Amino acid sequence: DGGITQSPKYLFRKEGQNVTLSCEQNLNHDAMYWYRQDPGQGLRLIYYSQIVNDFQKGDIAEGYSVSREKKESFPLTVTSAQKNPTAFYLCASSVRVMWNTEAFFGQGTRLTVV
Amino acid sequence: AQSVTQPDIHITVSEGASLELRCNYSYGATPYLFWYVQSPGQGLQLLLKYFSGDTLVQGIKGFEAEFKRSQSSFNLRKPSVHWSDAAEYFCAVGAGYGGSQGNLIFGKGTKLSVKP
């Protein structure tokens, strides 16, 4: 079945560590996105990519990094510079830029700092 | 700047009762509007969208929404709520320009609880 796969579902990070969240899609979509979700805050955009080898910062990119080497994959690294990384992270994709088309979301990764 | 407001953080309705979730937006052009639903610990699923044309749009699971330009609103409705509708609902506007160009701006969500 076509869709978006995020892994792992749960992730624990120690202080000072970098961790990488995986996002893979087999929908042949050009655009991919990372959102952060905190209780009562809605979704906030971290990074997005409209095409392979290109990505743009969203509203809260500090402390995060991404790469887009393949159309299917858009991994997110949460670096030690992110001071409050505990959150629910959602990856999404769309045929083209999201604002005028449907976005498809993964099941999310819950990251906890221990 | 574009923004989306969902005034109700949490709503509880009885099963079988009607439902209306409110959404107001601020946008300088013709908006692209969406409603998404999220079950606990899951991703988001598109319920319906409005791009142009008929201001009353039908979606999945028996939901509908009405675009009212004069009120800058896009409220979600359902005539009879089922227990399986308990979830969090997000309204979003497509930001075709500005700081989030190419992306959606989400409201903070309304959590729906359903009483038996």
B9, A97: Cβ pair inside 8 Å? no
Q: Inspect the interface and report whether the beta carbons of B103 and A43 lie closer than 8 Å.
A: no
Selected residue of B104, B110, B111 to mutate for chain A interface (largest A Cβ count, 10 A): B104
Average pLDDT over residues A78-101: 88
CA distance A60 to A51: 20
Mean pLDDT value of segment B63-82: 96
In this prediction, residue A98 carries a pLDDT of 65
pLDDT over 90 percentage in chain B: 72
Residue B97 scores a pLDDT above 60: no
pLDDT given at position B100: 53
Strand stretches in chain B, DSSP E = 3-5, 10-14, 19-21, 24-26, 33-38, 44-50, 56-58, 64-68, 73-78, 87-95, 103-106, 110-115
**Contact (CB<8Å) B90/A42:** yes
Q: Residues A32-56: pLDDT tens digits?
A: 999 999 988 889 999 999 899 999 9
Q: Find the mean pLDDT for residues B65-72.
A: 94
Contact A100 B32 (CB under 8 A): yes
Establish if B17 touches chain A: CB-CB under 8 angstroms. Answer: no
CB-defined contacts A:B, below 8 A: 67
